[in-house]
Structure 1
C-alpha cells in the first residue's frame, strides 16, 4: 500500500467495504511515520502505538461511527485534543495535556477518525515558517534545508510524505494556503464562519482566522470540510451551508477567471513564481475558461493597513492573558502583543471601515468574474535557519509578515480560497496559486479545483531534479 499515492476517499471506501481493516491501516500509518517522520519532524506528540492499535481494533469490532471511520489523523498543535500534549509550540504550554477536545477535534473524533498525535506549528501559529522551541523545525520534504511554510506546516508535510491522507489546518494570513503551495498539496480556506472556532472568549469581534481542511486532492478536502463544518449554537455568527461532498469537477467552459497577478506592481515576487501561475492558468483556458488580467480592484496599501491593524488587535486579544509571560514569547509575538494593546478603538474602527470598503468592491468584481486568482506565495521556500524574509526582489519588508501580503485580500474579508499546486521551479521546489470566490461559493471553488486537479494531478508527481 503506497499511502503517498492513495486518497482518503479510497481508503475509506476500502474500510467501509471490509477490504481493509482499521488495524491494517493504522499499522501501515505507524510504519510510514516511523520511516519518514524522523527526517522531516512533521508529526509531534505521537500517541503510544499500542494504544492506537487497540483503538483501531475496537473500531473494527464495533459499528461504523461516521464518515471518517478508522482514518488516522494528526491534529494541528494549535488545537486542544483530550489526552494528547497540546503545546501550541510554546514552552509556556510544554507538556500540557487537555482534559477535553476542542470543537474541531471532537467533530473529527465523532466522525470515526483516530487522532494519533499532533502536527507541528510555529509558536502560537505566528509566522509562515514551522519552527518552535518545543519541537524544533519541520523540514520541507522537497529540500530538507528549506522551510515547509506554516503555520500548518506539519500538516502539509505529513500529507506530502504520505503519513496522513487528510489533515486539518488553520488560516489567518495564509497559514494553510502557503504550506500547501510549498509542499505540493491542496489547502482550502472556507468562507469565514462555515467552520466554527472553539467557542471561548470573544465570539463577536474577530473575523480573520478560520479552520479548514488540507489534502492531496479537492475531493478529499470536501470529505473533511463537511465533517468540521456546521453551525454551533454557542457562536453568534452562525453560517449554514450545504454539504460539498462528493466534490465533482465542474465544466469550466464559459467561466470567467480574473487574474490579479502582482496587484498592479504592488506585490514583489521572486523570479519564476508569476510565470508558473500563468502556466497553470493556461490549464483552465484549455478547459474552456476565459482568463482575463484585471487591474487592482482597490489600493493594496489600504488593504494592508487595515489588515495589519486588525491582525495585531486579534493576536493581542488572544495573547493578552500571557502578558506576565511576555519575556518567554518569541519576538514576533511580543511585537503583535504590544501593537494590539496600544491600539485605540477608533484605529480598529477605521481599519474595519477599510475592510468593509474592500468587501463591497469585491462583490462588484465577482459580479463579472466566477473566480479570482493570485499566487499563493511571493517567495520560494527559504532556508530553514532564516526566521522570515526581509526583502523580496530587492524590496525591503517593513514587518515580519509583509512577505505574505499576497494572502491578505482573501483573509481580510473571509473569502473561500483554494490553494492549488502549480508544479516545480528550477530548483525542484513546489509552488501554488490561490483560486477564490465570493462568500458562500465554497462548493463552486472546490469543483473548479477538482477540474484543475483532474487535468494536472500535481500531488502525485515529483520534480525532475536540477
Structure 2
C-alpha cells in the first residue's frame, strides 16, 4: 500500500505518476492544501506559486494522456530556495531591499529540474542574502524545525529543510557556502547533500568566478538518500556560464546509492580533533556511526591532522567569505542601492556589520587564509590516504531556541554566529559531504552527522549513506 503523499518519497511518487496510480493535478492540489494548512507552524515557505503550479500540473497531466515522453521528476512538487531565481517568481533573498523583486531569468539548476518535470510550488525561507546559520529575516520572520517550531531550523536553507521534515514537499533545493545545506538538514532530521564544488553549475551573470572563495555549492535536500541522488542526477553537469562546472560521471548518482560498501573504511572523528562538541551530540553520532559496521564497512576512530585550532579555521573561513560579501556590496551598488546610506534601514544590523567587515580585509589576510586552507586540504588528503570516508558531527550542539546563539559548547567559549559548526572546513576543500540523521535528543530534537568523501567521490558518499539508511531508517521519526 502506498504511503500518504506527505510521507511518500519523490522517487516513489514519480513512479506512481508515470504508472497512472496518482494524478499530477491531485498531487499538486494536496501539496498546496498541506502548505496552506501547515506553513504557519514552521514558516518554511515565503512565496507559494499556487496558480503557476496548477497550470504546470494540468500540462503535465495532459502530457501523460498524450503519451509524450516524460522526465524523471514528472509531476513531482519541489521547492526552490529564495536566494535563487525562477523567471516570473518573486526572489526576495530574505531582504526588504528586494521584497517585491520578480526574477527575470531561471537559474540553470532550476531550469534542469523544471525540464525534468518537477513542479515548483514555491520559494523557501532564508536569512538575508543567506548570511546566517539560522533562518530569520525581516521579510518573513524566523523558520523553526518541525520537531519543535520554537527551535531553529538552521540556515541558510532552513525553509527547505523544514518544508521537507513537515511533509510539505518531497524535494527541496539548497545552497551551501559554509554549511547552509548541512546545518538545516541536521536541525530538521533530513538528508542534505553538498556535492563536489562545480558538480551543479552556478551561473552568476555578473561574476562567474566569485564562487570559489570559499567554495559555494548547489545541492539537494530530501527525506531519502535516493531522492537526493535523483535530484542531483538532474541538476548536475557542465554549463557554459560556469567555468568551474564538471561533467557528470558515467554511473548515475541514483545507482550509486545501492552500491555495496563492504570494502569501505570510515574514519570516525567526534570533533575533527579541534571542535567542542556537546555530550548529547557525541553520544547520538557515535551510536549512529556504529551502523556502518552493521552495513559492512569498517569504522575506526581517527581525526584529520590539520595542525590548526578551530579559531584558526573559522578566522580563515571568515576572511574568504568576505570576498563574496564584497561582491554582494558591489552588486547592491550596481543596482542603484545605497546599503551604507539611504537603504541602510532596510538591512539587518548583522548584514551591515558583515558588509563593513568585507571592506577591511587586506590582501595579506587573504594570503594567510589561503595557507590555512591549504593545511585543511592537506589534513583531509592525508586522512583519505588511509580511509575512504570521514564521519563527524555536523554541529557541535543540538538545535537551540530561536533568537538565541551559543556562546559556550562543552565548557569552551565559541564565536556565537559560527563557532558551533563543523561544516566550514569542507567549503574550504570543496569535497562532497552528506548530512544524515543520527537520532533525537531526550528533548526530541534532531541531531545529524556528516559523511565526507574525497573530491569527485559523490558515489562513495551516496553508497554509504544509502547503506546507513537501510540499516537505520529515519522516515518514521518525522513529527507529522
Tell me which interval the TM-score lies in, with the shorter structure as reference length.
Answer: over 0.9
Q: 2:331 matched to 1:331? A: no
CA deviations 1:126-152 (Å, max 9, x no partner) are: 111111100111121111211111111
Shift of 1:399: 5.5
TM-score where L is the length of structure 2: 0.91
CA deviations 1:96-124 (Å, max 9, x no partner) are: 11122122221211111111110111111
More displaced 10-residue stretch of structure 1: 56-65 or 277-286: 56-65
CA deviations 1:249-278 (Å, max 9, x no partner) are: 3333242111121233x2112231011111
Q: Residue 11 and residue 367 in structure 1: after superposition, are their counterparts in 2 closer, same or farther (change >3 A)?
A: same
Which of residues 450, 454, 459 in structure 1 aligns to 2:475?
459
TM-score where L is the length of structure 1: 0.94
**Paired position in structure 1 for 2:209:** 204
More displaced 10-residue stretch of structure 1: 346-355 or 222-231: 346-355
More displaced 10-residue stretch of structure 1: 198-207 or 22-31: 198-207
d(CA) in 2 for partners of 1:142, 1:115 = 25
d(CA) in 2 for partners of 1:254, 1:111 = 34
Q: 2:461 matched to 1:445? A: yes
d(CA) in 2 for partners of 1:254, 1:222 = 21
d(CA) in 1 for partners of 2:90, 2:372 = 40
d(CA) in 2 for partners of 1:409, 1:259 = 16
Query: Contact conserved, 2:294 with 2:471, CA < 8 A, in 1?
Result: no
**Paired position in structure 2 for 1:3:** 5
Unaligned runs of 5+ in 1: none
**Paired position in structure 2 for 1:84:** 89
Query: Contact conserved, 1:359 with 1:413, CA < 8 A, in 2?
Result: yes
**Paired position in structure 1 for 2:138:** 133
Shift of 1:205: 4.9
d(CA) in 2 for partners of 1:241, 1:109 = 19
**Paired position in structure 1 for 2:320:** 310
**Paired position in structure 2 for 1:389:** 406
More displaced 10-residue stretch of structure 1: 180-189 or 333-342: 333-342
**Paired position in structure 1 for 2:29:** 27
Q: 2:290 matched to 1:272? A: no
Shift of 1:429: 0.5
Query: Contact conserved, 2:339 with 2:352, CA < 8 A, in 1?
Result: no
Corresponding residue pairs, total: 459
Could you say what secondary structure the match of 2:83 adopts? coil
d(CA) in 1 for partners of 2:125, 2:464 = 30
d(CA) in 2 for partners of 1:7, 1:48 = 21
Q: Write the mapping of 1:134-213 to structure 2, written as runs, cut at 5 A.
A: 134-207=139-212, 208-213=215-220
d(CA) in 1 for partners of 2:366, 2:477 = 45
Could you say what secondary structure the match of 2:339 adopts? helix
**Paired position in structure 2 for 1:262:** 271
**Paired position in structure 2 for 1:375:** 393
**Paired position in structure 1 for 2:362:** 344
Shift of 1:65: 4.2
Shift of 1:72: 1.2
Could you say what secondary structure the match of 2:203 adopts? coil
